[in-house]
Chain A
Amino acid sequence: DAKTTQPTSMDCAEGRAANLPCNHSTISGNEYVYWYRQIHSQGPQYIIHGLKNNETNEMASLIITEDRKSSTLILPHATLRDTAVYYCIVRVLNNFNKFYFGSGTKLNVKP
């Protein structure tokens, strides 16, 4: 049921920007893109979400392409504590706004 595809893993040097891509080519016009991350053996943590416009908060930036078929999560200055699995999720409209998780990207931040 997941509507997103992400690379299995990525490496990033500490202090550098981490750019995590997500493909959601079948997204519907009014479906939101959400990003969560999961540190080992913990519950997922909300990062950011968006519809059409780029978004930024204290954790990250979300860049959504004009056709909305893909997006990129940017962690501007990755730290070792950002090592986690990052999930890109398209929120199902109605139906209680369910989330169907894809396989996610394991981000390894290295010193």
Chain B
Amino acid sequence: GAVVSQHPSWVICKSGTSVKIECRSLDFQATTMFWYRQFPKQSLMLMATSNEGSKATYEQGVEKDKFLINHASLTLSTLTVTSAHPEDSSFYICSARTSGRGYNEQFFGPGTRLTVL
């Protein structure tokens, strides 16, 4: 199956700093990528949808100025958590879909655990 990677797998940062998380589709071109957040013992919550070359669309209640998403190429999307605070500590997961192979599936990355001190 298609492989999606995330980097870093975990990160610890100080309150007030910004953190960038990368999501890459390794063996396919991702026309659309999705970003999710998951708090402990909870389900995945969709944060935003990004399409290559265009602005991301954010779900209701997600601050677009705090969670900056860039989908500059068909294989890379980045999520930047700006001015991170302890309440932003969470498990961030990306997924990717393509208009080609596996059209109806989303392929998920392994997740990035963010801890803000």
Using a CB–CB cutoff of 8 Å, the interface residues on chain A facing chain B are 1-2, 32, 34, 36, 38, 41-46, 49, 87, 91, 96-104
Contacts and interface: CB of A to CB of B under 8 A. Distances in A.
A27 to B, nearest CB: 15
B107 A98 contact: no
B58 to A, nearest CB: 12
Contact of B109 (A43, A49, A96): A43
Contacts of B105: 34, 46, 49
A2 B95 CA distance: 18
A42 B44 CA distance: 12
A102 B43 CA distance: 7
Given A41-B111, A97-B97, 4 more contacts: A32-B104, A36-B108, A43-B4, A44-B95
Contact of B91 (A41, A49, A91, A96): A41
Contact of A98 (B34, B91, B110): B34
Contacts of A1: 46
Contacts of A98: 34, 46, 49
Contact of A99 (B4, B34, B57, B113): B34
Contacts of B111: 41-43
Given A44-B44, A87-B43, A101-B44, A96 B49 contact: yes
B106 interface: yes
B104 A91 contact: yes
Nearest to B93: A43
Contacts of B109: 43
A97 B104 contact: yes
Can you list the 9 inter-chain pairs with the closest CB atoms, starting with the nearest? Answer: A43-B108, A101-B44, A101-B43, A44-B108, A43-B110, A96-B49, A43-B111, A43-B109, A96-B32
B51 A46 contact: no
B87 to A, nearest CB: 20
B100 interface: no
Contact of A104 (B32, B43, B49, B95): B43
Contacts of B51: 96
25 contacts: A41-B111, A41-B113, A42-B111, A43-B4, A43-B93, A43-B109, A44-B44, A44-B93, A44-B108, A45-B108, A46-B107, A49-B104, A96-B32, A96-B34, A97-B32, A97-B97, A97-B104, A99-B46, A99-B106, A100-B46, A101-B36, A101-B43, A101-B45, A103-B43, A104-B43
